[in-house]
Every structure is written in structure tokens, then in C-alpha cells.
């Protein structure tokens, strides 16, 4: 059974770069069947799709975040990562990684809270 686990700093200073990693267990990021996604949710608010990556390295990003976002994959570590530059308080949220299967995210990590504050 595939499991995902987010990791990274819980506190990031304004204007700096947010970096998170998602470790996949029980499955492979090299699988040709799936994309691997990042989604976030500010406290008390709705879900926002950030972007996704395929094992080939091909990516798609939310246009509203595209200029600041990079998603990468490390097949040797069975991980994929998120980088979000020039963060502000508006980027404070719970960040989820997920597996996309047939267009829908069918496996989610537990989420990690990232706070942007000085």
C-alpha cells in the first residue's frame, strides 16, 4: 500500500524559499501510471492545487503560482519535492503531497504545516 510523507521546515521567513519533500513508500515515483502532486490549504480555507510532476520530469503548475514554483523528482530516493520562492504570509498553509491516478488524487500524505513569519 502506497504511503506518502511530507517533510521540511515548519517555519520560513518572508521572502525566503519554502522547500518540502515528499517521500513515497510502498510504491515508486518512477511508475508510468501516476503523476505526483502538491496541494495546499490555508487554515480554515479551501484546497489549492499547486502543481504536479511525472516521472519523466514533465511538470504542470497552477498559473497563479507558476513564477515561484518548482517541482522536481528524485527517483534514486523515491521522493519528489516542492520549492516556492519569495514567500509571504499568504503562503502559510498545510501542504499536502499526493499521488494522481487517472486524473484524481487517490493517495494523500498527512500534510505538513508551514508558517511564514519572521
Nearest approach in angstroms of CB 36 to another protein is: 13
> Which residues are CB-contacts of 19 (< 8 A; sequence separation ≥ 6)?
8, 9, 81, 82, 83, 84
Nearest approach in angstroms of CB 14 to another protein is: 26
Contacts to another protein by CB under 8 A? 37, 39, 46-49, 51-52, 60-64, 96, 102-106, 108-111
Q: Which C-beta is closer to another protein: that of 50 or that of 116?
A: 50
Q: Which C-beta is closer to another protein: that of 2 or that of 16?
A: 2
What's phi and psi for 89, nearest 5 deg? -60, -30
Q: Which C-beta is closer to another protein: that of 37 or that of 92?
A: 37
Nearest approach in angstroms of CB 70 to another protein is: 15
Nearest approach in angstroms of CB 32 to another protein is: 19
Cell output for 107: 493517495
> Which residues are CB-contacts of 108 (< 8 A; sequence separation ≥ 6)?
4, 96, 97, 98
Q: Which C-beta is closer to another protein: that of 31 or that of 42?
A: 42
Rg (CA), the chain: 13
Amino acid at each position: 500500500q502506497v504511503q506518502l510523507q511530507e517533510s521540511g521546515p515548519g517555519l520560513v521567513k518572508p521572502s525566503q524559499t519554502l522547500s518540502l519533500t515528499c517521500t513515497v513508500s510502498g510504491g515508486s515515483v518512477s511508475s508510468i501510471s501516476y503523476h505526483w502532486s502538491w496541494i495546499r490549504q490555508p487554515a480554515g480555507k479551501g484546497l489549492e492545487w499547486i502543481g504536479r510532476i511525472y516521472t519523466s520530469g514533465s511538470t504542470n503548475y497552477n498559473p497563479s503560482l507558476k513564477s515561484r514554483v518548482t517541482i522536481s523528482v528524485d527517483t534514486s530516493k523515491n521522493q519528489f519535492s516542492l520549492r516556492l520562492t519569495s514567500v509571504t504570509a499568504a503562503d502559510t498553509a498545510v501542504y499536502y503531497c499526493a499521488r494522481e491516478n487517472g486524473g484524481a488524487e487517490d493517495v494523500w500524505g498527512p500534510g505538513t504545516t508551514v508558517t511564514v513569519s519572521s
